Copies of this chain bind each other. A is one copy, B any other.
Amino acid sequence: MIYLDNAATTFKKPQNVIDAINYALASYSNSGRGAYRAALDSGRMVYETRVKIAKFFGSKDPSRVIFTSNATESLNIVLFGIFKAGDHVISTVTEHNSVLRPLYKLESGLGIDLDFVGIDACGRLKYDEFKKYIRPNTKAIVVNHISNVTGEIADLEYISKFAKTNNIYLIVDASQSAGNIDIDMSKMSIDILCFTGHKSLFGPGGTGGIVINRDIYIDSFKVGGSGVQSFNKEQPKEYPTRLEAGTLNIMGIAGLGAGIDFINEVGIRNIHKKEMYLLKRLYDGIKSVKGISFYMDCNSIENEPENIRHGGILSINLDCIPSGELADILGYDYDIAIRAGAHCAPLVHRAFETVEDGIARFSFSYFNTEEEIDATIKAIKEIVEDK
């Protein structure tokens, strides 16, 4: 199988991740609940992974690294834990349903107000709209770092400056960017980062997290056993326990930590560079295909191939075939895995007028090869010729 659906989940995991999972299965019990060796070792590993994650994302306090089961949970915890009735939130049309649905639920249930910054034909945010939407009751900007549909990287320098100037929080959905491009929350003035473990961080499913780099009170979402303050009727107030009820996914956290080790060893810039090389190779190979549309800034790829500001995602449509059918043929006839249709990001599809046919998304990982890209180019050309 040629796997080009890495934006959904990275399929091939580094060997050290697999080893870490198996080591955890053989060595760690529950953390934070017992005082014997396997429990203490487990607790130590969990703490060390918090430290590793805080450092990886340029955050100061490992106790404000919260483990969750995926980015959706991270975003639910943060969004339901911060906003109160009457708050206003600026978000963008590039958001995934993991941001949109919590925001809509807060809008209808709690009465928060929402505005969404639009995108241009290349999928770039219309940055001047942030100014248009700011209000006295605006509490935060919620924005994804890399769009899961277009691969466009949001200009967080601009947005964080804007947020700082207006004294509002910046909450970043790093589902597609964590492990793909450098993130330094302190330098970039990101207040809260929500990430998933199983995508570019190479961790297993069931992992994700929140990194909080500012003094922010986030209400508990799930409440329950905490291993401490058993007689407190409420979830303990202290981070990370405030946002972590119940038994942690020890095996998953061990795997996630190993994924970050792998990235640190290879170098995140080398990873991104390789993905951009593959993206450019695919782009060059298919750009002349009849009736092809891209959802990105093609000028920048053409003119600055060494400096593409993009995630590892190339999205297209072909006049001659709907995206779903393209994906089916690639899957069944060529064993090439891509994702098509709607990508849980409805406002992007509305903006691009692809609600009906969706978009065909090719997404890369460090483990993809030139040969795989070349085989994909050949397959696309054959499919178009057959139509």
Contacts and interface: CB of A to CB of B under 8 A. Distances in A.
Interface of A: 1, 3, 5, 8-9, 11, 13, 18, 21-22, 25, 29-30, 33-39, 69-73, 75-76, 96-102, 104-105, 196, 198, 204-207, 220-227, 230-231, 233-235, 245-252, 324, 327-328, 330-331, 335-346, 349, 355
30 contacts: A5-B29, A5-B34, A8-B33, A8-B247, A11-B38, A21-B25, A22-B22, A34-B337, A36-B327, A36-B335, A38-B337, A69-B246, A70-B247, A73-B245, A76-B222, A76-B223, A76-B224, A76-B245, A98-B245, A101-B224, A101-B235, A204-B252, A205-B248, A206-B207, A225-B344, A230-B344, A231-B346, A231-B349, A231-B355, A252-B252
B225 A72 contact: yes
A302 to B, nearest CB: 30
A14 to B, nearest CB: 11
B37 A234 contact: no
Per CB-CB distance, the 4 closest pairs between chain A and chain B, nearest first, are: A72-B246, A206-B249, A98-B224, A36-B331
Contact of A72 (B207, B222, B355): B222
A71 B100 CA distance: 27
B73 A246 contact: yes
Contacts of A207: 206
Nearest to A361: B34
B69 A249 contact: yes
A235 B109 CA distance: 14
Contacts of A104: 233-234
A280 to B, nearest CB: 24
Contacts of A69: 69, 73, 206, 246, 249
B249 A205 contact: yes
Given A36-B331, A101-B224, 9 more contacts: A5-B30, A72-B246, A76-B224, A104-B233, A196-B247, A204-B251, A230-B346, A231-B342, A252-B252
Given A25-B204, A224-B98, A339 B34 contact: yes
B21 A34 contact: no
A360 to B, nearest CB: 11
A344 B246 CA distance: 10
B35 A206 contact: no
Contact of A343 (B196, B230, B248, B344): B230
A3 B336 contact: no
A98 B331 contact: no
Interface centre among A35, A104, A235, A336 (most CB of B within 10 A): A35
A227 B1 CA distance: 22
Interface centre among A75, A230, A330 (most CB of B within 10 A): A230
B73 A222 contact: yes
Interface centre among A36, A70, A206, A343 (most CB of B within 10 A): A36
Contact of A9 (B29, B76, B234, B346): B29
B37 A335 contact: yes
A224 B37 contact: no
A247 B198 contact: yes
A50 to B, nearest CB: 16
B34 A8 contact: yes
A320 to B, nearest CB: 19
Given A101-B235, A206-B206, A342 B248 contact: no
Contacts of A38: 1, 3, 11, 337
Contacts of A335: 36-37
